[in-house]
Amino acid sequence: MKLFKTTVATAIAALAAGVAQADINIGVSLSLTGPTSALGIPIKNAIGMYPTSIGGQKLNVIILDDATDPASATKNARRLVTDDKVDILLGSVATPPANAVAAVASETGTMHLTFAPIDVSTNKAPWSYNMPQSTLVMSHAIVAHMKKQGVKTVGFLGYADAFGELFLRDMKVKMAGTDLKFVSEERFARTDTSVTGQALKVTAGAPDAILIVASGSGAAMPHKALIERGYKGKIYQTHGAASRDLMRVGGKDVEGAFVVAGPGMVAEQLPANHPSKKVAMAHVESWEKVYGPNTRNPFAGHAYDASIVLQKIIPIALKTAQPGTKEFRGALKAALENAGPIPLFHGTVNYTATNHAGYTDDTGVIMRITNGDWKLQ
């Protein structure tokens, strides 16, 4: 009888707890192989450092490889939502597969935090939110720096995909009304092993500066091609290239390059009152304790930022709905859009119902590669 009473009491407690008894399932599609695996692997490692529970709920994380292929990303997202009943989707790390995940998120009403910048206009991706800074926000920082450097003419050498086109579009938006203008535009595929022809064309008019839009170690190849062609102007790289892979592969050829990034990449160099200083240093210290000095990278930073966001909104959503339900997914969305400013490794976000990009124009910082290290400008 005593055992029966205990069992009944436990069952009643479980029913009373309601929400607290269900696990939270997170589905992740990452490029762990393919041309952007250098981005996916550090994100996977950062996810491995996530807490095992949030708000008293056990956290189950399922990670699938999309090999940087949009079709595979779509298949992964559908499996995660349909078979694994995930509450949240994360990924991918490149814009094309991230767009594929966003489409499934929109179709199924599942919150989606993407690790690649995509167009998160609410009419296009109503359930998706950028963890990386938008191309518009980072274009703002690049254009402001170019103006200070006296740049007038700019060449574009970037990916022939959604990431490259978004950056080019938003650079033109930020350049409108200034003396800056693009005088050449050349594109290449992520899988290309040479851009000699494009480098010759983009440097032909001797622009004051050239913007390379690429990611990971793949950003070094076009940079080296410009130097080999004898280009002497300023070279800018995007936040997709803001990792030490650029310096490792590019060597002396990338010395002096300007790279836009989130503030956490130079956490120690930030002023004490910078909103991201404390949270960025916390990530740097925990990450480098495991992976060694100077191993921080923007991609792991995005995954870390996602964990901060989840720890902010999940306890709020749990007050009104149970994991595994449509209501919980809706509660997560509402919680994020009403959370207010959240300081992150990469800056401060303030998502709303009409702003899923989150970051403000003052987010991006410009670093310069100086003696093989980052120097805040």
Per-residue pLDDT reduced to its tens digit, 320-347: 999 999 999 999 999 999 999 999 999 9
Residue type, 254: V
State residue 346's pLDDT score: 96
- Domain boundary (261, 285, 307) is at 261
- Look over the chain and give the mean of its residue pLDDT values, rounded to a whole number: 93
Given a cut of 60, whether residue 11 has pLDDT beyond it is no
158 within 8 A of 164, measured Cβ to Cβ: yes
Are 113 and 23 contained in the same domain? yes
241 plus 128 within the same structural domain: no
For the chain, the residue count is 377
Cα separation of 88 and 86, whole Å? 6
Q: Do 96 and 173 belong to one domain?
A: no
The pLDDT > 70 percentage for the chain reads 94
Over range 185-210, report the average pLDDT.
96
Contacts of 331 (CB under 8 A, 6+ apart): 316, 317, 318, 320, 321
Whether the CB-CB separation of 251 and 265 falls below 8 Å is answered with no
Extended beta strands in 164-233, E state = 181-188, 209-213
Together in a domain, 115 and 206: no
Tally of structural domains, the chain: 2
Same domain, 125 and 145: no
Helix (H, G, I), strand (E, B) or coil at 223: helix
d(Cα 58, Cα 64) in Å, to the nearest integer? 20
Domain that holds residue 99: 2-133+294-349
- 286 found inside a domain: no
Instruction: Name which of 18, 118, 25 is nearest 80 in CA terms.
Output: 25
On whether both 148 and 71 belong to a single domain, the answer is no
Tell whether 13 is covered by a domain.
yes
Does the structure show a pLDDT above 80 at 237?
yes
3-class DSSP assignment, residue 237: strand
Q: Is the dihedral of CA 210, 216, 217, 221 positive or negative?
A: negative
Q: If pLDDT is split at 50, 70 and 90, which confidence band does 354 have? A: very high
The whole-number average pLDDT for the span 248-267 is 97
Which pair of tokens denotes residue 20? 């607290």
- Say if 272 falls within a structural domain: no
- The domain that holds 169 is classified in CATH as 3.40.50.2300
What is the pLDDT, as a whole number, of residue 16?
Answer: 42
Query: Cα torsion for 341, 343, 345, 351, to the nearest 10°?
Result: -10
Alpha carbon 184 to chain centroid, angstroms: 28
Residues 159 and 204 in one domain: yes
Q: Quick one: tokens of 202?
A: 């983009």
pLDDT digits (tens, 9 = 90+) for 152-170: 999 999 999 989 999 999 9
Question: Which pLDDT value is given to residue 21?
Answer: 58
User: pLDDT at position 22, please?
Assistant: 85
Rounded-to-integer distance, Cα 118 and Cα 163, Å = 7
- Tell me: do 121 and 156 sit in the same domain: no
Do the domain assignments include residue 288?
no
Whole-angstrom CA distances from 272 to 199, 242, 267 are: 41, 22, 10
Record the pTM. Answer: 0.84
Domain assignment present for 370 = no
User: Could you tell me if 43 and 119 lie in one domain?
Assistant: yes
Phi and psi at residue 80, to the nearest 5°: -65, -40
Structure letter (DSSP) for residue 133: P
Residue 301 has pLDDT above 50, yes or no: yes
Mean pLDDT, residues 358-365: 91
pLDDT (mean) for 307-316: 98
Q: Is the peptide bond before 92 cis (omega within 30 degrees of 0)?
A: yes
Cα–Cα distance between 371 and 193 in angstroms, integer?
Answer: 27
Domain shared by 24 and 115, yes or no: yes
Could you tell me if residue 251 is inside a domain? yes
Give pLDDT, residue 1: 33
Does residue 285 lie in a domain region? Answer: no
Of the chain, the percentage scoring pLDDT greater than 90 comes to 88
Quick check: is 107 in a domain?
yes
- For residues 233 and 120, membership in a common domain is answered with no
Kindly state the tokens that stand for 261. Answer: 């990034």
> What are the phi and psi torsion angles at 65 (to 5°)?
-90, 130
pLDDT over 80 (residue 222): yes
Q: Coil, strand or helix: which one is 25?
A: strand
**Judgement on whether residues 127 and 189 belong to the same structural domain of the protein:** no
